[in-house]
Amino acid sequence: AAEGTPVPGDYLNFAGGRFYAVTCAVASKPLEEAAILRLRELVKETQLEVPGVNVGVTGQPVLRYEEMRQARGDTTKASLVALVVVALTFIFCYHEVRRPLMATASLVVGIGYTLGFATLTLGHLNILTITFVPILIGLAIDFGVHLITRYEEELRDGRSARAAIDKALVVSGTGICTGGLTTAAAFLAMTLTGFKGIREMGLVSGGGLLVCLVPMMTMLPAMLLYDKKRKRVAPSVRKALRSRREQLEQHWLGRPRLVVGVGLALSLLAGIQVFRVRFDYNLLNLQNQGLSAVAYERKMVESSSHTMLACLVPADTIDEALALEQKIRQLDTVAEVVTLAPMLAGDQEHKLADVRQIRELLGSIQFAPMDTGPADLAALDHSLEGFGHVVGSAIYFAGRAGNQVLREELMVLRDAVETLRAVIAAGPAEVRAGELASYQQALFADLATTLAALQQQDDRAPLRVNDLPSNLRSRFIGRTGKFLLQVYPRDNVWERGPQDDFVRELRTVAPKVTGAPVRFYEYTSRLKSNAQKAVVYALLAIVLMLVMHFRNVICALLALLPVGVGILWTLGWMGFLGIPFNPANIISFTLLIGIGVSNGVHILNRFTEENNPSVLGKSTGKAVLVSALTTAAGFGSLMLAEHAGIASLGQVMALGTTMCMLASLTVLPAVLLLLTRSGWKLAHGWISH
């Protein structure tokens, strides 16, 4: 067989025999995890029995199991880190402890409700939905940030606690609910796509956000109302902090045209970098590269002329299998086709003649009785020493003849003999003698079994399906009699280019083809297209929600301005830093649309209330700033994940949230100020000049 070519009944070999693979199939899907764990136990036992052996377990079920196990551990860690960091950020920014902890407590209650909601609606989690807890921690805390910030502003203006909470719920509560509903609408729009993973992500995130809104708008106000203790921060400190924010804001509000110009220039630069952002289809790149299953998969990819990933083609009859095999072998992207059909087809008389000849040659061979005593170490060492001298002479003559390949192989053999002698001499004689005796008995028992099987071959009739070993029969011939063809690609089909060529070319001959390369091709293609649809659906849903809220199209577009600018800047940074899209972070822009628009809603609500674009010195600007920090902290916790896909989701979301926040606090107020100076007046339901 060619290098790396699997043959029925043989081991798969790679790189000229440097690597060998044993393929296993699980008895049933529920036993998959138990089978993987048992295989790893066997590997450990083998490593103890054969010191120095390099062996591991890999394959699609193992990679899938490792991915979910890694993702569960990563998201649990990220959730705890996000909760702590969000609470500390809230406390630091507000210079107090009690009220941020009240909001955090309401958040924890909302997360608990969401877990129940996810259990009732889905009952399971996938590689996308498993990240929903740290995501909601970063998002749902924003409700508390805006409510508490407005509540404290009203208290500073001299209102009673009851009047302050009423004003906060009526005025800021409208923006909170609208922002929450628009963000949830963006998530729920994902349920309209045809990809199950994205649908489930939209349902659990959107529904969870609405669920978290309930305790934030009910439990948190009640806790604030009955909190009788004074804040520890002196009014002078709060006034100084507010004054610094106002002074900072005046640096750009005093030059609105310059701010808009700089925003346009940055957007232009970002637009140039957008074309450098690529989509990484390779699912192996999403995994933790330190996992043994991933390491062994990459070893086999790098060491072989092709990968172990095979396409599967069914055939109803032997003749169809033979015809398909002949056509498939002609394809440029195919390295090898494995099927049992040629063994069972055609005139087998010459094969039967070979079987008779083998039986005659082996019929007279008989093994002596098995020696069950311990090995004679002295005699063995003497034989190995003599054999080493013979090999040394062969090395000398091979070198004189100029046969360097043979010389190197003989040198490896000599080193192996010397290593064996050293191992035997290093250990206790009785133990080594027993180990060698056990090995010798197992070796000759296996050889005797193989010889007996050859001597008992039936040469009376051609080979039939039932004559095949059960392991081959179950693997290549179905219960209904259909034949399976395993088609191995010539190139690395983890990568999109070879994968696309391989699947497309194979489908021209065998439209019913399936297998890992086809699954990966369809999975990534549909995920990408449905993620793009989710962005469109989310935009439509948000525009509808904004028009209903503001009752004005221009206000809706202004609310979307920070989203558009922030996302463009995010794409620019991704292109500049070389951060690609992948199947894990492709949903990030749907999430950013929902997150970014809430900033615009809050700022526009405050603007229509006071007709003043200055917001950073007020509760609204502070809340937008702090909520962006907490959201970035929630998503940023995902960057701690060892799963590369989850880490990339956190990276893109933290970057995108920050960009949307900057656009909200700089570009949007500057645009509103220019509109105000030109005579425009914005209010709910109308705009007049």
Averaged pLDDT, groups of 10, the chain, 689 residues long: 41 64 78 88 82 78 83 86 88 84 92 91 80 85 86 83 88 83 85 84 89 92 77 49 61 80 93 92 84 78 70 90 92 88 74 79 81 86 91 90 90 90 85 86 85 77 71 80 89 90 94 91 90 88 85 85 92 93 88 83 78 66 81 86 88 92 87 79 46
Q: Are 511 and 353 in contact (CB under 8 A)?
A: no
Measured CA to CA, the distance from residue 689 to residue 675 in angstroms comes to 10
**How many residues does the structure list for the chain?**
689
> Within 10 A of 421 (CB to CB), how many other CB atoms are there?
15
Angle made by CA atoms 236, 237, 241, in degrees to the nearest 5: 115
Looking at residue 341, what is its pLDDT? 83
In sequence order, the 6+-apart residues with CB closer than 8 A to the CB of 202 are 187, 188, 189, 190, 191, 193, 534, 590
Looking at residue 96, what is its pLDDT? 82
User: Using the 8-state DSSP alphabet, how is residue 618 labeled?
Assistant: S
SS3 329: helix
Looking at residue 3, what is its pLDDT? 37
Measured CA to CA, the distance from residue 281 to residue 582 in angstroms comes to 6
> Within 10 A of 307 (CB to CB), how many other CB atoms are there?
25
Looking at residue 429, what is its pLDDT? 86
Question: Per the structure block, which two tokens stand in for 645?
Answer: 């896909």
Looking at residue 265, what is its pLDDT? 94
- The partner residues of 334 in beta bridges, in order of sequence, read 489
Looking at residue 682, what is its pLDDT? 57
- The partner residues of 489 in beta bridges, in order of sequence, read 334
Looking at residue 179, what is its pLDDT? 80
